[in-house]
Amino acid sequence: MKINETCSILGRKVILVPYKKQHVLRYHEWMKSKELQELTASEPLTLQEEYEMQLSWQQDENKLTFLIMDLDKWKRASLSEEDCMSGDVNLFLNNDEDKSVAEIEIMVAEPSCRGRGFGREAIYLMMKYGVDKLGLKKFTAKIGMKNSKSLNLFSKLGFKEIARSEVFQEVTLELPVTSDIYQTLKVKTEGSLIEEYRSKDVH
Protein backbone atom coordinates (compact mmCIF):
# COMPACT_ATOMS: atom_id res chain seq x y z
CA MET A 1 0.00 0.00 0.00
CA LYS A 2 1.38 3.40 -0.97
CA ILE A 3 0.40 5.05 2.32
CA ASN A 4 3.10 3.23 4.30
CA GLU A 5 5.75 3.10 1.58
CA THR A 6 7.89 5.76 3.22
CA CYS A 7 7.06 5.51 6.92
CA SER A 8 8.13 3.43 9.89
CA ILE A 9 6.53 3.00 13.31
CA LEU A 10 8.82 3.04 16.33
CA GLY A 11 7.68 1.07 19.36
CA ARG A 12 9.34 -0.09 22.58
CA LYS A 13 10.62 -3.48 21.40
CA VAL A 14 10.11 -3.34 17.66
CA ILE A 15 10.17 -0.96 14.75
CA LEU A 16 7.80 -1.58 11.84
CA VAL A 17 9.20 -0.76 8.40
CA PRO A 18 7.78 -1.10 4.88
CA TYR A 19 8.53 -4.36 3.06
CA LYS A 20 11.13 -3.49 0.41
CA LYS A 21 13.06 -5.30 -2.29
CA GLN A 22 16.14 -5.65 -0.07
CA HIS A 23 14.13 -7.72 2.43
CA VAL A 24 12.93 -10.35 -0.03
CA LEU A 25 15.87 -12.77 0.27
CA ARG A 26 15.43 -13.24 4.03
CA TYR A 27 11.64 -13.41 3.66
CA HIS A 28 12.06 -16.08 0.99
CA GLU A 29 14.26 -18.12 3.34
CA TRP A 30 11.61 -17.87 6.06
CA MET A 31 8.88 -19.17 3.78
CA LYS A 32 10.81 -22.34 2.97
CA SER A 33 9.86 -23.49 6.47
CA LYS A 34 7.18 -26.19 6.45
CA GLU A 35 6.03 -24.95 9.86
CA LEU A 36 5.48 -21.39 8.63
CA GLN A 37 3.81 -22.62 5.45
CA GLU A 38 1.33 -24.57 7.56
CA LEU A 39 0.74 -21.80 10.11
CA THR A 40 0.20 -19.15 7.41
CA ALA A 41 -1.61 -21.45 4.94
CA SER A 42 0.99 -20.47 2.33
CA GLU A 43 2.48 -22.23 -0.66
CA PRO A 44 6.24 -21.94 -1.29
CA LEU A 45 7.20 -19.46 -4.02
CA THR A 46 10.26 -19.23 -6.21
CA LEU A 47 12.58 -16.31 -5.46
CA GLN A 48 11.36 -14.52 -8.58
CA GLU A 49 7.74 -15.01 -7.50
CA GLU A 50 8.66 -13.62 -4.07
CA TYR A 51 10.08 -10.45 -5.66
CA GLU A 52 6.92 -10.09 -7.76
CA MET A 53 4.77 -10.61 -4.64
CA GLN A 54 6.66 -7.90 -2.74
CA LEU A 55 6.12 -5.41 -5.56
CA SER A 56 2.44 -6.27 -5.97
CA TRP A 57 1.80 -5.88 -2.23
CA GLN A 58 3.59 -2.52 -2.21
CA GLN A 59 1.28 -1.29 -4.97
CA ASP A 60 -1.98 -2.95 -3.82
CA GLU A 61 -4.24 -0.44 -2.06
CA ASN A 62 -6.05 -3.27 -0.27
CA LYS A 63 -2.92 -4.67 1.41
CA LEU A 64 -0.78 -2.96 4.01
CA THR A 65 2.41 -4.70 5.11
CA PHE A 66 5.09 -3.84 7.64
CA LEU A 67 8.11 -5.92 8.52
CA ILE A 68 8.77 -6.35 12.24
CA MET A 69 12.31 -5.44 13.19
CA ASP A 70 14.04 -6.18 16.50
CA LEU A 71 14.59 -2.66 17.85
CA ASP A 72 17.66 -3.58 19.92
CA LYS A 73 19.36 -4.95 16.81
CA TRP A 74 18.13 -1.99 14.73
CA LYS A 75 20.02 0.38 17.01
CA ARG A 76 23.29 -1.44 16.36
CA ALA A 77 25.05 0.21 13.43
CA SER A 78 27.01 -2.94 12.61
CA LEU A 79 23.86 -4.91 11.75
CA SER A 80 22.00 -4.77 8.43
CA GLU A 81 18.23 -4.59 8.11
CA GLU A 82 18.25 -8.25 7.13
CA ASP A 83 19.89 -9.03 10.49
CA CYS A 84 17.06 -7.23 12.31
CA MET A 85 14.10 -8.90 10.58
CA SER A 86 11.84 -10.94 12.86
CA GLY A 87 8.49 -11.20 11.06
CA ASP A 88 5.68 -9.25 9.44
CA VAL A 89 2.26 -7.82 10.19
CA ASN A 90 -0.42 -7.22 7.56
CA LEU A 91 -3.80 -5.61 7.04
CA PHE A 92 -6.07 -6.82 4.24
CA LEU A 93 -8.98 -4.58 3.21
CA ASN A 94 -10.88 -7.34 1.45
CA ASN A 95 -14.40 -6.23 2.35
CA ASP A 96 -15.49 -4.29 -0.74
CA GLU A 97 -18.74 -3.27 0.93
CA ASP A 98 -17.10 -1.86 4.05
CA LYS A 99 -13.56 -0.48 3.92
CA SER A 100 -13.64 0.20 7.66
CA VAL A 101 -13.12 -3.54 8.24
CA ALA A 102 -9.69 -5.15 7.82
CA GLU A 103 -8.26 -8.60 8.39
CA ILE A 104 -5.06 -8.54 10.45
CA GLU A 105 -2.32 -11.13 10.22
CA ILE A 106 0.90 -11.57 12.20
CA MET A 107 3.95 -13.78 11.71
CA VAL A 108 7.00 -13.90 13.95
CA ALA A 109 9.24 -15.96 11.71
CA GLU A 110 12.59 -15.83 13.51
CA PRO A 111 12.55 -18.51 16.26
CA SER A 112 14.85 -16.42 18.50
CA CYS A 113 12.32 -13.55 18.39
CA ARG A 114 9.33 -15.58 19.58
CA GLY A 115 8.00 -15.30 23.10
CA ARG A 116 9.47 -11.82 23.56
CA GLY A 117 6.34 -9.72 23.03
CA PHE A 118 7.26 -8.67 19.50
CA GLY A 119 4.06 -10.01 17.96
CA ARG A 120 1.79 -8.45 20.57
CA GLU A 121 3.39 -5.02 20.23
CA ALA A 122 3.35 -5.22 16.43
CA ILE A 123 -0.39 -5.96 16.48
CA TYR A 124 -1.12 -3.03 18.78
CA LEU A 125 0.98 -0.68 16.63
CA MET A 126 -0.66 -1.91 13.44
CA MET A 127 -4.20 -1.62 14.80
CA LYS A 128 -3.57 1.90 16.10
CA TYR A 129 -2.14 2.86 12.70
CA GLY A 130 -5.12 1.30 10.93
CA VAL A 131 -7.63 3.19 13.05
CA ASP A 132 -5.84 6.54 12.84
CA LYS A 133 -4.69 6.46 9.20
CA LEU A 134 -7.29 4.25 7.47
CA GLY A 135 -10.36 4.90 9.61
CA LEU A 136 -10.76 1.23 10.52
CA LYS A 137 -13.58 0.34 12.89
CA LYS A 138 -13.31 -3.44 13.06
CA PHE A 139 -10.56 -6.04 12.80
CA THR A 140 -10.93 -9.68 11.89
CA ALA A 141 -8.40 -12.52 12.00
CA LYS A 142 -8.39 -15.97 10.41
CA ILE A 143 -6.22 -18.42 12.30
CA GLY A 144 -5.58 -22.11 11.77
CA MET A 145 -7.15 -24.36 14.39
CA LYS A 146 -3.76 -25.89 15.17
CA ASN A 147 -2.13 -22.50 15.75
CA SER A 148 -2.82 -22.41 19.47
CA LYS A 149 -0.27 -19.65 20.20
CA SER A 150 -1.91 -17.20 17.79
CA LEU A 151 -5.41 -18.14 18.94
CA ASN A 152 -4.37 -17.52 22.53
CA LEU A 153 -2.67 -14.21 21.65
CA PHE A 154 -5.66 -12.81 19.76
CA SER A 155 -8.02 -13.97 22.51
CA LYS A 156 -5.96 -12.04 25.07
CA LEU A 157 -6.14 -8.99 22.80
CA GLY A 158 -9.94 -9.12 23.03
CA PHE A 159 -10.81 -10.85 19.76
CA LYS A 160 -13.90 -13.12 19.90
CA GLU A 161 -14.59 -16.17 17.76
CA ILE A 162 -17.43 -15.62 15.27
CA ALA A 163 -17.03 -18.59 12.92
CA ARG A 164 -15.23 -21.90 12.57
CA SER A 165 -14.52 -23.73 9.32
CA GLU A 166 -13.83 -27.45 9.48
CA VAL A 167 -13.15 -27.47 5.73
CA PHE A 168 -10.37 -24.87 5.94
CA GLN A 169 -9.46 -25.82 9.53
CA GLU A 170 -9.52 -22.19 10.62
CA VAL A 171 -11.21 -19.96 13.16
CA THR A 172 -12.46 -16.44 12.35
CA LEU A 173 -12.23 -13.87 15.12
CA GLU A 174 -13.24 -10.23 15.26
CA LEU A 175 -12.70 -7.13 17.37
CA PRO A 176 -14.88 -4.02 16.94
CA VAL A 177 -12.99 -0.83 17.78
CA THR A 178 -15.06 0.50 20.68
CA SER A 179 -14.02 3.53 22.69
CA ASP A 180 -12.58 1.19 25.34
CA ILE A 181 -10.57 -0.74 22.73
CA TYR A 182 -9.22 2.47 21.24
CA GLN A 183 -8.20 3.66 24.70
CA THR A 184 -6.34 0.36 25.18
CA LEU A 185 -4.56 0.87 21.85
CA LYS A 186 -3.50 4.35 22.95
CA VAL A 187 -2.13 3.03 26.25
CA LYS A 188 -0.35 0.06 24.68
CA THR A 189 1.29 2.23 22.00
CA GLU A 190 2.10 5.20 24.23
CA GLY A 191 5.39 6.76 23.19
CA SER A 192 5.34 5.18 19.73
CA LEU A 193 6.28 7.38 16.80
CA ILE A 194 5.45 7.38 13.10
CA GLU A 195 8.59 8.51 11.32
CA GLU A 196 10.00 8.76 7.82
CA TYR A 197 11.51 5.41 6.89
CA ARG A 198 15.29 5.61 6.58
CA SER A 199 17.02 2.40 5.58
CA LYS A 200 19.81 1.22 7.85
CA ASP A 201 21.62 -0.06 4.78
CA VAL A 202 22.06 3.39 3.18
CA HIS A 203 24.86 5.46 4.66
Question: Cα Rg for the chain, rounded, in angstroms?
Answer: 16
* pLDDT reading at 35 higher than 90: no
Report how far residue 195's alpha carbon sits from residue 68's, in angstroms, rounded to the nearest whole number.
15
Amino acid letter for position 45: L
* pLDDT reading at 202 higher than 80: no
Q: Which helix (H) or strand (E) holds 182?
A: helix 179-188
Report how far residue 188's alpha carbon sits from residue 94's, in angstroms, rounded to the nearest whole number.
27
pLDDT digits (tens, 9 = 90+) for 89-102: 999 998 889 999 99
* pLDDT reading at 132 higher than 90: yes
Q: Cα 146 from chain centroid? A: 20
Looking at the structure of the chain, the number of domains it has is: 1
Cα distances from 127 to residues 30, 80, 131, 136, in angstroms, run 24, 27, 6, 8
pLDDT digits (tens, 9 = 90+) for 56-66: 988 999 999 99
| pLDDT value of residue 128 | 98
pLDDT digits (tens, 9 = 90+) for 139-188: 999 999 988 989 999 999 999 999 999 998 899 999 999 999 999 999 99
The verdict on residue 197 lying in a domain is no
User: 169: which DSSP letter?
Assistant: T
The verdict on residue 122 lying in a domain is yes
Report how far residue 73's alpha carbon sits from residue 124's, in angstroms, rounded to the nearest whole number.
21
Residue 131: pLDDT band with limits 50, 70, 90:
very high
The verdict on residue 194 lying in a domain is no
Could you tell me the residue range of the domain that residue 64 belongs to? Answer: 2-189
Task: With H, G, I as helix, E, B as strand and everything else as coil, classify residue 116.
Answer: coil
The verdict on residue 200 lying in a domain is no
| pLDDT value of residue 195 | 96
Which residues, in sequence order, are CB contacts of 171 under 8 Å at separation 6+? Answer: 142, 143, 144, 145, 151, 161, 163, 164, 165
Residue 195 sits at φ, ψ, to 5 deg, of -125, 170
Mean pLDDT, all residues of the chain = 93
* pLDDT reading at 82 higher than 80: yes
The verdict on residue 195 lying in a domain is no
The verdict on residue 201 lying in a domain is no
The verdict on residue 28 lying in a domain is yes
Residue pair 196/182 in contact by the 8 Å Cβ criterion:
no
| pLDDT value of residue 34 | 85
| pLDDT value of residue 23 | 94
pTM equals 0.93
Report how far residue 61's alpha carbon sits from residue 185's, in angstroms, rounded to the nearest whole number.
24
At 16, which CATH number?
3.40.630.30
| pLDDT value of residue 7 | 96
